[in-house]
Amino acid sequence: MNHTETTEKAAELAKNWQRIAERSQSVMQAFLDRNAQGPAQLGDPTNMFGAFMAMTSQMMSDPAKLMQDQMNLWQSHMKLWQQTTGRMLGHGGQADPIAAPTTDDRRFRDPAWQENALFDYIKQSYLLTAQWMQDTVQEVEGLDKKTAKKVSFYTRQFADALAPTNFLMTNPEVLRETIESKGENLVRGLDNLLRDMERGDGELKITMTDMDAFEVGKDVAASPGEVVFRNDMMELIQYAPSTKNVHKRPLLMVPPWINKFYILDLRPKNSLVKWATDQGYTVFMISWVNPDEKLAEKSFDDYMLEGPVAALDAIEKATGESEVVTLALCLGGTLLACTLAYLAAIGDKRVKSATFMASLVDFSDPGELGVFIDQEQIESLEERMQEKGGVLDASAMSNTFNMLRANDLIWSFVVNNYLLGKDPFPFDLLYWNADSTRMPAKMHSFYLRNMYQANALRESGGIELAGQKLDLGKIETPVYILATKEDHIAPWQSCYAATQLYGGPVHFVLGGSGHIAGITNSPASAKYPFWTNSKKPKSPETWLKNATEHDGSWWEDWHKWQSRHAGKKVPARAPGDGKLKPIVPAPGAYVMEKAK
């Protein structure tokens, strides 16, 4: 590169830096304008300060151990410094790293993190310190279990935020892109940042996928069918059959209402709806309303009575069949368990089998979600819901779930969108994840206080719905439970606890991967194995130790089980054949309502 080219490149880079500064001011002003009241009154809704004060008090009670921990960290850094100095001076070969990222840590994939001595030093220095912080807080004695979990969780959040990959000057990939594009990546990144702040009305709402790449009803939620019933809480979709004959008992799917139903009807290759219809099931789907302030007083009772119970009545009108088989996901599974206990209490035996996917009924150990559930945080959330007109705004739950996997669902997008200035990749799961919903305050408070906080559902008579005390032990319906091995929302060991609670036969299956990827592991992809064991010991670890691993999709194991409960084959039934006539084509109107 000659002198003229160098001068021109430097001038262009300086010009872009000036644009960056101007855009930065614009971003900051937009943030201040939208938050004119300021965050000073927010206090500490997570009660994090109290947890760390308790930890600090315990640490200071043993200064010798604290000093020894600090000495160990200093010695590790000295060893790393000596190793790096020797490498820079060309002394010796490539030594084994003192600290290395885990195999599933994708932050340090760029070759420079290994090949460049300086960046390798930055990486190892960070990993040493981050691991030291987390080990130190986990070894503090004298904390109650809840406080210890909270301290550990927020320490990890802090460590993740400080990763060198998250900053321009310590990320080799971002530095290369900045030099090669003459700073255009940062200008584009600031445009992306401003757009996401505007999309969140002053709150940063990170774009995780190309939101224009999919259209509900065309690319996702595209299985043919009709809405045949509607009330305030849900639309009931009856899907068109794809086989000449079908099982006599219809299949009712109960999704969670934290997100839209079409996680069970993504693109054809991973749509459980399409696959089930292809196996000869008459599939009905509950599509929950996206509630606004008018539905703020809707209760957990209403979700049960106007959801699954109303669906049973509607299915009988649509098909003439009073008996059904059911399948539910996550919070929908918790509701289905409540419904089965309610039906058992009133002597209603219409449900002949129940499948629970990644669903909790015993909340003794809800995993890291428990970090967000204590008296102070619930009261803070209830205040927020009242300020929002009696609903939980859509961003609240999605932000919580994103924090559980911050490196994958927050920081990777910060680097890609804001530092590299790239657009996110089209991904159906993340499109669905971004299409979140609101929740009524009355229902959500009941759910958090009775399930997560009191764990009352597992106790006989601990919860009362629609005038009936619920007892899971009275449920004699055959049950299929699917949990996933890496689930961070419904830990598989906690899902397994339900095997000891139901009164009827239980078939437990453990799938690979996590809360969503493990559920949508269709036979067409079959990326992850699954495990089965006909025994039901009290310990989930004992169950897994003696379980058999299978290749392929758990869907096929489920169909083998479910077909035994779904009845003989009868001629296929199309929407509108019965007493309920089509209202609108699938996926209906409720799913189209977007939450801001």
Q: Stretch 492-507: mean pLDDT, rounded?
A: 97
pLDDT over 80 (residue 65):
no
User: Are the CB atoms for 462 and 470 separated by under 8 Å?
Assistant: yes
Torsion angles phi and psi, residue 364, rounded to 5: -55, -40
What percent of the chain lies above the pLDDT cut of 90? 67
Residue-range domain boundaries for the chain: 51-151, 225-372+438-592
pTM (predicted TM-score): 0.89
Q: Stretch 307-333: mean pLDDT, rounded?
A: 98
**Among 32-41, 208-217, 251-260, 427-436, whose mean pLDDT is lowest?**
32-41
Mean per-residue pLDDT over the chain, rounded: 89
Can you spell out the DSSP letters for 505-568? -EEEEEESS-TTTTTT--TTT--S-EEE-S---S-HHHHHHTPEEE-S-HHHHHHHHHTTTS-S
pLDDT in tens, 261-270: 999 999 999 9
Q: Stretch 521-542: mean pLDDT, rounded?
A: 95
| Residues near 233 by beta carbon (within 8 Å), at least 6 away in sequence | 288, 289, 295, 298, 302, 303, 306, 307, 310
AA identity, residue 198:
E
> 563-586 burial, b if ≥16 CB within 10 A, otherwise e?
eebbbeeeebbebeebebeebeeb
Please state, in angstroms and rounded to a whole number, the distance separating the CA atoms of residues 280 and 273.
Answer: 11
The tokens describing 3, both together, are 């002198």
Confidence of residue 66 (pLDDT cuts 50, 70, 90): confident
pLDDT in tens, 471-490: 999 999 999 999 999 999 99
* pLDDT value for 153: 87
The tokens describing 553, both together, are 């999709």
User: Are the CB atoms for 110 and 415 separated by under 8 Å?
Assistant: no
Confidence of residue 403 (pLDDT cuts 50, 70, 90): confident
Instruction: List the catalytic residue out of 330, 403, 439, 443.
Output: 330
pLDDT in tens, 166-211: 999 999 999 999 999 988 998 899 888 888 887 777 678 899 999 8
Concerning whether 330 is annotated as a catalytic residue, the answer is yes
User: Are the CB atoms for 306 and 465 separated by under 8 Å?
Assistant: no
pLDDT over 50 (residue 347):
yes
Give domain 225-372+438-592's CATH architecture: 3-Layer(aba) Sandwich (3.40)
